[in-house]
Amino acid sequence: MSSYFTDLAQQYIDGEWRPGTGSWDIIDFNPYDDEKLASITIATVDEIDEAYRAAARAQKKWAGTNPYARRAVFEKALRLIEEREGDIAEAIVAELGGTRLKAGFELHLAKEFLREAVNLALRPEGRIIPSPADGKENRVYRVPVGVVGVISPFNFPFLLSIKSVAPALALGNAVVLKPHQNTPIVGGSLVAKIFEDAGLPAGLLNVVITDIAEIGDAFLEHPVPKVISFTGSDKVGRHVATVCARHFKRSVLELGGNSALVVLEDADIDYAVDAAVFSRYVHQGQVCMAANRVLVDRTVAEEFTEKFVAKVRTLKTGDPRDPETVIGPIINSSQAEAVAGAVEQAIADGATALIHGIRRDNLVEPSVLTDLPANSPLLKQEIFGPVALLVTFDGEEEAVRLVNDTPYGLSGAVHTANIERGVAFAKQIDTGMFHVNDGTVHDEPIVPFGGEKHSGIGRLNGDTMLDSFTTTKWISVQHGRSGFPF
């Protein structure tokens, strides 16, 4: 595993591993113990240009390659991940502080999405559409967009890079990937290495490790990419969308969330507690779908709260290498400080801490807050950390209002003994995804994934990848002669 952080601490452009030419280095730290993992000289605007130009050169031939031949690359990449799974898991634990449970979860999903990419290569289909003109044949072809720019986040970097990179490539595009600067290896160069070893032709996947302080908007504004796929915060997503619109590019935005898990009065309380604890605290709460808010009907609130608090107290915080650890470190000190600060501010504003977790460097213990004032900013925002907000409600109508009272609309869940009641509840929620009698954190390769409101634009997964990474082209054929008015 350690060789990843030495051998892959470079840029990958046009099939070559090479250092960046920037004047400073990104230092890759282990968020648990601050061990220096790698030092990577950043890419400049010139390298961004070289990466996009290489992608454009390679893409035309790749698009003309038999999709069955393209498919073989993804089959080989899947086998390589399976062979290297132990080393990749160790890298996930080291670079982003993921627990062993989280690393296994991320790798499982990454393999599932690669399996879908294998099938996606054969998915595009054309159509012949009738014409009102005699003798005219309307053909509609589905073609690659060309080059896709992918910007991936730090929380599930291996999965969320592959989730856009693999479908874009499978559909005949080339890709330039910019991983988050906190996870440059797992989210960037490791992905490139796997595809290189799987036989992907040079130039089709390029990885640039850099920082906005160096390149500004060059990654977004470059004339080559036709689509930018961004996963991250709504604040940055708004900027990405604005720049893309200004340059007539398509943006696919998978942004933050403020999901709620709702417990109705007829729910299985023990099961709802298990679902809520997982949905809030998986990967230290650094998940866009995480249940920031747990809404409980007042008639069962006392029982639920007692059991929820008891279960949260059993979650071990510490070294992510320890198989018993459930709560590992937050990705960096500024994020850890922000999470701890949000808890203190909520308490100062009148919230009650049923559990008040302390911060030790990047480790932030779980907190459970209740009695938040109705106007508390914390109820409206995304908390990317292990903090649960318990809110009571009186009846379904109030529950629906509370769930929707946020700028976000990504995921959510409701627990009830009556499945159809749960479905009816879900239909009233302004989210892209909602789950009945389950957790809020789900992602499946063939089910549309995405949010409403500030949680994003567009969808990923399954057939929606065709909408994201291909376009349609109308070619008409006139059999015989057409008539013209002059």
pLDDT in tens, 240-290: 999 999 999 999 999 999 999 999 999 999 999 999 999 999 999 999 999
pLDDT in tens, 338-393: 999 999 999 999 999 999 999 999 999 999 999 999 999 999 999 999 999 999 99
Q: By the 8 A CB rule, do 111 and 78 touch?
A: yes
The SS3 of residue 324 is coil
pLDDT in tens, 397-447: 999 999 999 999 999 999 999 999 999 999 999 999 999 999 999 999 999
Q: What is the mean pLDDT of residues 19-25?
A: 96
CA distance 396 to 128: 48
What is this structure's pTM?
A: 0.96
Residue 304, beta-bridge partner list: none
Q: What pLDDT is attached to residue 238?
A: 97
- What whole-number percentage of the chain has pLDDT above 70? 100
Q: What pLDDT is attached to residue 435?
A: 98
Q: By the 8 A CB rule, do 326 and 366 touch?
A: no
pLDDT in tens, 40-84: 999 999 999 999 999 999 999 999 999 999 999 999 999 999 999
Which of 47, 95, 254, 365 is catalytic? The answer is 254
E-strand stretches of 152-212: 174-178, 205-207
Domain ranges within the chain, ordered by starting residue: 4-255+455-474, 259-436
Residue 291 pLDDT class (50, 70, 90 cuts): very high
Q: Taking 60 as the threshold, does the pLDDT of residue 177 lie above it?
A: yes
Q: Taking 90 as the threshold, does the pLDDT of residue 99 lie above it?
A: yes
Q: Taking 80 as the threshold, does the pLDDT of residue 2 lie above it?
A: no
Q: By the 8 A CB rule, do 468 and 227 touch?
A: yes
Q: By the 8 A CB rule, do 157 and 186 touch?
A: yes
10-31 exposure pattern, b = at least 16 Cβ within 10 A, e = fewer:
bbbbbbebeebebeeebebbbb
Q: By the 8 A CB rule, do 408 and 234 touch?
A: yes
Q: What pLDDT is attached to residue 91?
A: 97
Which of 50, 106, 244, 288 is catalytic? The answer is 288
Q: What pLDDT is attached to residue 136?
A: 96
CA distance 364 to 339: 8
Of 44, 54, 226, residue with least CA distance to 150: 226
What is the second-level CATH architecture of the domain 259-436?
3-Layer(aba) Sandwich (3.40)
- What whole-number percentage of the chain has pLDDT above 90? 99
Q: What is the mean pLDDT of residues 129-154?
A: 97
Q: By the 8 A CB rule, do 37 and 186 touch?
A: no
**288 flagged as catalytic:** yes
The SS3 of residue 56 is helix
**244 flagged as catalytic:** no
Residue 303 burial (C-beta neighbours within 10 Å; 0-12, 13-18, 19+): middle
What are the structure tokens assigned to 393, written together? 């409600």
Q: What pLDDT is attached to residue 480?
A: 93
| Superfamily of structural domain 4-255+455-474 | Aldehyde Dehydrogenase; Chain A, domain 1 (3.40.605.10)
pLDDT in tens, 435-445: 999 999 999 99
Q: Taking 90 as the threshold, does the pLDDT of residue 1 lie above it?
A: no
What are the structure tokens assigned to 436, written together? 């009945």
Q: By the 8 A CB rule, do 199 and 72 touch?
A: yes
